[in-house]
Amino acid sequence: MLFVISPNFFLYGANGIRSGLAASIVLFSFRYYKSYKQYIVLAIASLIHLSMIVPSVFFIASKYIKTITYPLLIWIVLLLFSLLGVNFLAVLELAKQKEIVFNQDGLFGEIFVETYKSLEENLN
């Protein structure tokens, strides 16, 4: 009866199981801390569920980033983008298309206006 009412129910359950399995494997990778085996186990976890790429990348990056200043600044900027509803990837693509160099002369004003206009056009 459940499959007749909601045929996607099984797929969501299987996705949750795969995600949990991959997260468990990421935690298991700490058994091989400071060994090349840890990277292999992280890669296997990422192949099981792609959402484990994010913690794997940040774990590897944490070995090279020793101060918290820049990651915190990036997090705050991305949080503000999220609150303002700005698509960060669209901003980067727009900057790439226009070959805009990041400077201190108010670059973001032009990009935000154009991004807002394109979002407004897509919504209408």
| Helix, strand, or coil (residue 6) | coil
Q: Per the structure block, which two tokens stand in for 101?
A: 């160099």
Q: Which residues contact 28 (CB under 8 A, 6 or more apart)?
A: 41
pTM exceeding 0.75: no
pLDDT band at 103 (very low <50, low <70, confident <90, very high): very low
Q: What is the pLDDT of residue 2?
A: 54
pLDDT band at 61 (very low <50, low <70, confident <90, very high): confident
pLDDT band at 104 (very low <50, low <70, confident <90, very high): very low
Q: Per the structure block, which two tokens stand in for 29?
A: 């990778």
DSSP 31-44: GGTTSHHHHHHHHH
* Average pLDDT over every residue of 20-25: 92
CA distances from 21 to 14, 56, 106 (A): 10, 15, 46
Distance CA 124, CA 122 (A): 6
pLDDT band at 98 (very low <50, low <70, confident <90, very high): low
Residue with tokens 């298309």, as numbered in its chain: 97
Reply yes or no on whether the pLDDT at 88 is more than 60: yes
Reply yes or no on whether the pLDDT at 19 is more than 80: yes
pLDDT band at 37 (very low <50, low <70, confident <90, very high): very high
What's the start-to-end Cα distance of the chain, in Å? 41
Q: Identify which has the larger pLDDT, 91 or 54.
A: 54
> What's at 43, amino acid-wise?
A
